[in-house]
Every structure is written in C-alpha cells, then in structure tokens.
Amino acid sequence: MIFNTRNFEKIRTLAVVLISLLIAFLVISIISEHPLKTIGIFLFEPIRTVSHIGNVVEMSIPLMFTGLSVVLLFRTNLFNLGAEGIFYFAAVVASSVAIHFAANAFFHPVVAVLAGAVVGALLSAIPGILKAKWNVNELVSSLMFNSILFGVGLYLLNYYLRDPQSFSNSSYKFRPSAMLDVIVPGTRIHSGLIVALLCVAAGHYFMYRTKWGYELRMTGANREFAEFSGINTTKVIIMVHLIAGFLAGMGGSIEVLGMYNRLQWASLPGYGMDGALVALLAKNNPASVIGAALFLAYIRIGADQMARMSDVPAEMISIIQAVIILLISAEQFLKFWKNRMLLKEAGVRE
Amino acid sequence: MNELLNIVFSTDFAFSILRVATPILFAALGALISNKAGIVNIGLEGIMLVSALTGVVVSAQTGSAWVGLAGAVLAGLLIAAILGFFTLKFRTHIILGGVAVNMFASGGTVFILYLVSGDKGASTSLKSEVLPNVRLPLVEDIPVLGPILSGHHLLTYVALLSVVAMYYLLKRMPLGLRIRSVGENPHAAQSVGVRVNRVQFTALLLSGLFASLGGAYMSMGYLSLFSRDMTAGRGWIGIAAEAVGRSTTVGTFLSSLVFGAADALANALQILKIPSELVATTPYVTTVVGLTVYAIAETRLKKRKARRHSPSDS
C-alpha cells in the first residue's frame, strides 16, 4: 500500500510540487492570452529538444553543489545560509586562477576549481568556528558573510580582473586551458556534472556509512545529547562547515569555468539560497539532491522558454519557489492526514 | 584629505546621514520587534522591496502619494501576515519562511513591474507620486542644528518617532511586556495566560509595518521610482544594526545611525578613490566582530558563573 505513514514525507513532497504547479497554471491563465499554449510551453519545452534537456542538466549542476552543501548543514541543525557568498567568492578565485595562471588543460581547471573550493572551505570555517567555540549565531554571521564576500569579490572583479575593453563589469577572458570540457555533444553539459554526481555519491556514503556521518546526524538531532554521549560536537560543527564551504566553493568555481568564458556576475547569482530550496525538496537527504536539483532546473528552464515564446515573464518562477518553500517546510501541512493514517494503521475506528 | 574633512564636517553631511539611515532604521526596528517576540524575521528585505513597488504602482494608479503609502503598508502587512500564518499555524521554519519571502520579492516585484509597466528594470514609465518633505517651524531657525534636522522627508520623522514609540511600547505598555515575555520564554508566558501565537503574530505584523514604511521611503522619497532590487541589502543592514544594538531600542537606533553614517561616508570616500565595494561591507564586518565580542564575553561570564557554583569541579 502506497498511502501509509512511512511514505508520508514522499507523498507530502509530491503534494507540494503539485500544488505549486497548479498555482503556476493559475498565474499563467490569469496573465497569458493563450493560457493552454503557454502552460504547454512551460511543461514540455524543457524536454522537447536535446539542447533544452542539456540546459536543464547544465542548470542542475550548481544546484547540486549548493544543495548538497546546505543538506549537510541543515542535517547538523545548523541554519547557515552562507553558501551564497562562498559560491560567488569562489567563482572570483577560480576566475583569477583561470586568467592569471597557465597550466595544461588537465591541471589548469583542477587547480582553479580546487583553489575556489579550498578558499570556500576556509571562509565557511569562520562562522563554524565562531558557532562551535562561542555559540555565535551562525545564521546572522553567515548572512553577514554573504554581503562581505560579495563586496570583496566585486572589488577584486572590478579592480584586478576587469577587462578595460568590455563595457560592463566583466573580467578578462579565461585562458582556454582552464575551461571545463563539454562531455555531451550538442549541449553545454560539462565535466562538472561528473564531479557533482561523485560529490553526491560521496556525500551519501559519508552521511550513512561513516562514523563522521553518524556523529553529524547525532549532533543535528540533539547537540547536548551527542555531547554527553562522547561526541566532540565542536569538532563536528567545524568539520561540517569546512565540507559545506568546500562544496559550495567547488560549485561556484565549476559553474563559472563550465558555463562562461569570463566572470560577469555584478550581483549575487542566487544559487546559495536555491541550495536551501534544493535541500528542502531533498528532505536533507544527499542522494535526493540530484532529483531536487533537476526538478528545480526543469521548472526554471520551462519558465525561461515560456518567457521567450509567450507573454508571461520568467520571474513567475520565484512565486512558485516561495510557495514550495513555505509549504514544504510547514511541519503541520497535511499533518492531520498523517494522524488519520496512523489511527487507521493502529486499527482505531474513527 | 582636506576636501573629505570639509565634506564630513558640513551640515549637509549630517543631513545626509539621517536621510540614508532612515530605511536602515525602519528595517532595524522591524528586526527588533520580531526578535523581541522570539521570531527572527529575515524577510525584511523582501517586504521592503514589495512595499516599495506597491507604493509606486498604487500612487501612479490613483495619483495620490497618500493612497500609495497606504498601499505600501497594506502590502507589507499582508506579506507579514502570510509569513506569520505559515510559521505560527503551519509551523514552517521561520528562517525558511524568510528565505521564501525574499525569493518571492526579488523575482515577484520584477514580474509585477513588467506586467504593470512593460519594463523589467525600473518604473520610469509610471507617473508615481512622492511623499512630501517637512520643514519644521522654529527648529529650522536654529543655527547648525536647524539645517540638519529640518527639511527631511516625512517618513524620516516617522522613523524617529517610531524609535520613541518602540521604546515606550517595549518598556511601558502591556503588549510590550507580553512580547518580551514571549521572546524570553514562551512556555512561561503561556503558563500565565499569554497567548503566545497571537502575541508573536502581532509582533510580526508590526515588523512588517516598519519594513513597509522603509520600502515606501525608498521608492517615494529617497528615490522617486521603483527599480529592480532597489533596497540593495538595507534589510540585512537593519538586521545587522539590531544585532549590534543588542536588541535594545536605543542601541538599535544608534547603530542604525552609525551604519547610515558609514553609508553616507562611502559616497564621500569615493573622492579619495577608496573603493566603494569595500566600504559597503563595513556594517557587515562590524556586525560579525561585534557579535563575536559579545559572544566571547558571554561565554566567559557563563564559565565564571559555573565555576563559582561548583567549586569542587575546578
């Protein structure tokens, strides 16, 4: 039987997705002159051609990285939203390696991505250490770090990387050796996808098959209890921050080297906050990050195509995302139904 | 350098501090009232943005700045009410609720702007109204202080009065007492008959009210139009100001002024070719440093207390 309490979370996630899609259809039918055609574009255009499918997969890559990063933090019960700033700053670091250093086509991207990831890990450790040692609220400090890293990153972009010949805030072109290879012909899907999938697999193994993963989950469930049962939670919290920063930094580096030939972000790209959405959809489960990232990428590409081919702007998607976040993190949503199922399974007559 | 000093020690500069600090102060008051009730509202930035747009659209439609202001406030209250409904009724995590509000606002305002004006960047095609500046009689004749304090935007005075009102509310009014008790210990408050959810909802609405005034100020005073992402992090600076002000009304007010001064200074420092990108990070750096210092002091205090109570352990 599908409708039992064990599947409750899955059913609820599905219900939230359906409700959000219904709201999307509602918004489209209010605005569009040809609602049915527009809905069709929104739903099916992302899988109509190979290049559109490629777009979905390309967009899911950074979402997997930030999603996985946030999953680790949320699972440890750390409300850290710093992936946003780290993603941006790591992209700046990777870009400077890609512009100012030379190496062969294998080592160059590896060095650039690792540089971004390591810087990300170190930056992420700061709120982690502050939290673990002195209980500084990681939410506020990580949010402040987003703005700080954005300011410093933009400064580096404007003063050290900026191409004077370009009009906007854009950097010099990357050296071709630094850019990631396309792995699927006819699309822009780059080798970052392989790294992302490997990271997800490693994240799953780490979380459920290692002692550290166990300690992480214990700390997340109840820090004081974990401490009493002999887990060094200070160490766990700092470690999780390091890994999460490493992943977010890697995501930023890979995104910029895989999808662009110069750095052009004059504002935060938003992937860090999207990571929170992915983590929610994935129910803080590393393996589910893939599906969640693909889903989010799918509706975004759908919205992009819709904006291009119809009269509804792509920003509609932000309304849908807000609804998804509100409903999916709502503990009480559909709870009455779970209770009813529980009673039924226990054999209690209503 | 002299040039800079001339700028900083002018009445114009002091005037501009108040002008720049107004939206920060509104956001900080919004953060203060919700934090006092134990709710961390990080959706302030989003609420400001939505209100800024609503003010412009409504005032352009009706031709009245006042109706526009009312619209902006209503929009802010509505978002806060939705956030409150989800977090208090459905138990959505408040932080994630705030993330949702911000996500909705940054895209949703562009969406609505495009539907109303056909433009995704700014509301230049809408003929929106601006709220008036107020000249204070008597005060404006005082030398030095007069030109600093008089002639500000109406909402700047509202912000200053709000500080007084907030102080009074938290210290002297029953609602303020209830808000503080709920924030400090909801279970204890409930046990003496305080309706925790209702108090928190009220605090969240007040928070939305302040944020919406800040938003209205941005598009109907500070500038006379709406542009994409125009709040540019002022909601976050407000949260920072509240944190540095240690959740006290006076502290929040003073740190908002300091952050406003830093912002005003950033404009002046451009003459010295000091990069504005870096100056813009000062409020955030200050906050991280401030929070760390407080936290270290608190941990030390706790340790010392623990040692005093259990002499056998040490």
d(CA B263, CA B271): 14
Give B278 to chain A, closest Cα distance, Å.
6
* Cβ contacts of B111 on chain A, cutoff 8 Å: 313, 315-316, 318-319
Q: Tell me which of A8-12, B153-157, B252-256 is least confident.
A: A8-12
Per-10-residue mean pLDDT of chain A, 350 residues long, equals: 70 88 90 88 90 94 96 92 94 94 86 96 93 86 92 92 82 88 88 95 94 93 91 92 96 94 89 92 92 94 90 88 87 76 70
Q: What's the whole-number mean pLDDT along residues B108-112? A: 92
- pLDDT over 70 at B314, yes or no: no
A136–B292 CB contact, under 8 Å: yes
- pLDDT over 90 at B117, yes or no: no
B103–A273 CB contact, under 8 Å: yes
Q: Considering its fold, how many domains does chain A have in total?
A: 1
d(CA B203, CA B186): 14
B284 touches chain A (CB under 8 A): yes
Q: pLDDT at position A350, please? A: 47
CB of B50 closer than 8 Å to CB of B108:
yes
What percent of chain B stands above pLDDT 70? 97
What percent of chain B stands above pLDDT 90? 43
A15 touches chain B (CB under 8 A): no
Q: Which of A140, A82, A146 is nearest to B291 (CA)?
A: A140
Report if residue A164 sits inside a domain: yes
pLDDT, tens digit, for every residue of B191-205? 888 889 999 999 999
Q: Which residue of A has its CA nearest to B79?
A: A322
Q: From the candidates B85, B274, B281, which should be mutated to test the interface with A, based on the most A CB atoms within 10 A?
A: B281
* Cβ contacts of A137 on chain B, cutoff 8 Å: 243, 291
Q: Which residue of A has its CA nearest to B239?
A: A140
Q: Which of B292, B300, B278, B201 is nearest to B243 (CA)?
A: B292
A135–B299 CB contact, under 8 Å: yes
Interfacial B residues in 235-274 facing A (CB < 8 Å): 236, 239-240, 243
**Residue A192 belongs to domain spanning:** 67-280
DSSP symbols for B240-295: HHHHHTTT-HHHHHHHHHHHHHHHHHHHHHGGGT--HHHHTTHHHHHHHHHHHHHH
Q: What's the whole-number mean pLDDT along residues B224-232? A: 88
A147–B281 CB contact, under 8 Å: yes
A234 touches chain B (CB under 8 A): no
A141–B96 CB contact, under 8 Å: no
Report if residue A344 sits inside a domain: no
pLDDT, tens digit, for every residue of B7-36? 777 778 888 888 999 999 999 999 999 999
Report if residue A21 sits inside a domain: no
Q: Where in chain B are the domains?
A: 2-232
Q: pLDDT at position A330, please? A: 81
Interfacial A residues in 276-315 facing B (CB < 8 Å): 276-277, 280, 313, 315
Q: pLDDT at position A349, please? A: 54
A71 touches chain B (CB under 8 A): no
Q: Which residue has the higher pLDDT, B230 or B313?
A: B230
Q: What is the mean pLDDT of chain B?
A: 88
A273 touches chain B (CB under 8 A): yes
Q: pLDDT at position B78, please? A: 96
Buried/exposed A265-274: b ≥16 CB within 10 Å, e otherwise? beebbbbbbb
Residue with tokens 């939230």: A16
A37: exposed, middle or buried (C-beta count within 10 Å: 0-12, 13-18, 19+)?
Answer: middle
Q: From the candidates A27, A79, A144, which should be mutated to test the interface with B, based on the most B CB atoms within 10 A?
A: A144
* Cβ contacts of B236 on chain A, cutoff 8 Å: 143-144, 147
Q: pLDDT at position A1, please? A: 53
Q: What's the whole-number mean pLDDT along residues B46-52? A: 96
